Structure 1
């Protein structure tokens, strides 16, 4: 079973005003579509796009997680491969969606907690959880657990499938270990 789901999250304007427009235009969210409108509300022809989900400025990370990621995480615990990634231009909100804040935890934090909650409910199986943390920037793979591991190559084999050669992996037994590793990988560890 393969499924690709594409969602767009509209970021709140940097400066909040009654009429959040840029050059006399603004994006409007209408169910699973976004469209560009003139400041007086008229849609601009050819600027309407449909996606699986469109989240407006008021959407929380919790809602994004519940709709897009939770089922994927549960399937991963059952042995299915899955990937969640954020894509967009600089300052478009990727880090906030993935990492969140103290008041609205992001997808990574929620997924890590959910994995361990799910495996603790399954007593008839043993799990070995390995964590790696990488960044793809300008088409180069950087290992965030080992700064010396940069420009890592992607390989494919019958045994492992697709993998990043040389990517450091850590064995973990609880969500706190994972979150601490991620924090260290981001250079936030004190």
Structure 2
């Protein structure tokens, strides 16, 4: 059976020498303007275990990733416009694991308390998900450190330490002009930054039992 040629179009391609700053500038930085203007945006990393998804999204203290660079840029822009705009920023961090939703920013990671999706006037929301109001990038990273400790991690044949869940950081931004009346419109937007679990087939990971259900 002859295979069919399939062509894909890419907005941007990075080589192996690309820095975290270059990836951020080419994929995410322009979306911050959209969020501040009231438009929801999403950034996610997809691929097989070991390809660098978590490194791209979270990075390391010496080589920070998309989350750190995004929050740094966002706080800088908020500070630059604070005389004209009143801004409230909050974050939530959740995990989707075996079709259950857990709040990663609870001390125990919300284990045993699966959250439900609800629909309201703002769209689909996760009922009961905690919101936190960090004032600095450092505070954001401290919250992420807590959340990442609560993520479902497991060794597979594809990677010694594999993220077996989808992790979603929600950055909620509410803005109002300081000179506007109380009844004026408030812009509300959410940026979702997602670190997906590995996309490889079970035959590659050699998963069994509970690990097999994850795929």
TM class by smaller structure: 0.5 to 0.7
Aligned length: 144
Is the Cα–Cα contact under 8 Å of residues 135 and 144 in structure 1 kept in the other structure? yes
Task: Provide structure 1 residue ranges, at least 5 long, that are not aligned to the other structure.
Answer: 1-43
Alignment partner, residue 31 of structure 1: none
1:47 positional shift: 6.5
Alignment partner, residue 20 of structure 1: none
Task: Provide structure 2 residue ranges, at least 5 long, that are not aligned to the other structure.
Answer: 151-215
Change in CA separation of 1:52 and 1:136 when aligned onto 2, cut-off 3 Å? farther
The answer as to 2:100 corresponding to 1:137 is no
Instruction: Give SS of 1:63's match.
Output: helix
Alignment partner, residue 24 of structure 2: 65
Structure 1 length-normalised TM: 0.67
The separation in 2 between residues aligned to 1:47 and 1:82, in whole angstroms, is: 28
Alignment partner, residue 4 of structure 1: none
Q: Which moved more, 1:87-96 or 1:119-128?
A: 87-96
Is the Cα–Cα contact under 8 Å of residues 74 and 118 in structure 1 kept in the other structure? no
Partner residue of 1:151 out of 110, 114, 118:
114
Partner residue of 2:12 out of 53, 56, 67:
53
The separation in 2 between residues aligned to 1:137 and 1:85, in whole angstroms, is: 16
Alignment partner, residue 68 of structure 2: 109
The separation in 1 between residues aligned to 2:45 and 2:117, in whole angstroms, is: 20
Q: Which moved more, 1:135-144 or 1:113-122?
A: 135-144
Q: CA RMSD in A?
A: 2.2
Alignment partner, residue 184 of structure 1: 146
The separation in 2 between residues aligned to 1:153 and 1:93, in whole angstroms, is: 30
The answer as to 2:32 corresponding to 1:78 is no
Change in CA separation of 1:157 and 1:133 when aligned onto 2, cut-off 3 Å? same
The separation in 2 between residues aligned to 1:107 and 1:169, in whole angstroms, is: 21
Partner residue of 1:125 out of 80, 85, 91:
85
The separation in 2 between residues aligned to 1:63 and 1:140, in whole angstroms, is: 34
